[in-house]
């Protein structure tokens, strides 16, 4: 079972996305701020990180930089989730090594498709 770390400060978003991912067969861990996200990523070594940009304590870009600078977490793929749809944010995310950038509100089909593509090379579970 693939482990996913979901990082967002909005509890309602965490609840909806977590339920969707669990229903699709993923083990989901959560964090509501950047520092906790880094600590959990180092501890659980997830297969994928879903990362909001606007977070307390440390924004998602800084979290991604810290993860990519740590040999233990540098190869974990990151998908940014953000309400910010500006091109410069998307470009920055890609420059930090993000595998995808999804704009909120996120459609469940779009999220699951991106997750499947990254974790399974596009092969659907089951």
Predicted confidence at residue 35, as pLDDT, reads 96
Mean pLDDT for the chain?
A: 93
Mean pLDDT of the region 1-6: 97
Where exactly are the structural domains of the chain?
3-120
Does the pLDDT value for residue 125 go beyond 50?
A: no
Question: Band of the pLDDT at 120, cuts 50, 70, 90?
Answer: confident
pLDDT tens digits, one per residue of 21-74: 999 999 999 999 999 999 999 999 999 999 999 999 899 999 999 999 999 999
Predicted confidence at residue 122, as pLDDT, reads 57
| C-alpha distances in Å from residue 105, one per residue of 6, 32, 110 | 15, 18, 11
Does 3.40.50.2300 match the CATH number of domain 3-120?
A: yes
Q: Are 41 and 76 in contact (CB under 8 A)?
A: yes
Residue spans of alpha helices (H) in the chain: 11-23, 34-44, 60-69, 87-95, 108-120
């Amino acid at each position: 079972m693939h482990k996913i770390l979901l990082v967002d400060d909005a509890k309602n978003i965490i609840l909806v996305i977590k339920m969707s991912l669990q229903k699709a067969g993923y083990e989901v861990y959560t964090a509501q701020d950047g520092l906790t996200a880094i600590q959990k990523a180092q501890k659980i070594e997830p297969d994928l990180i879903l990362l909001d940009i606007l977070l307390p304590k440390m924004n998602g870009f800084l979290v991604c930089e810290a993860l990519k600078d740590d040999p233990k977490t540098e190869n974990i793929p990151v998908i940014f989730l953000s309400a910010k749809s500006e091109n410069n944010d998307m470009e920055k995310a890609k420059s930090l090594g993000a595998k995808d950038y999804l704009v909120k509100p996120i459609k469940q089909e779009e999220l699951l498709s991106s997750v499947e593509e990254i974790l399974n090379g596009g092969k659907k579970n089951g």
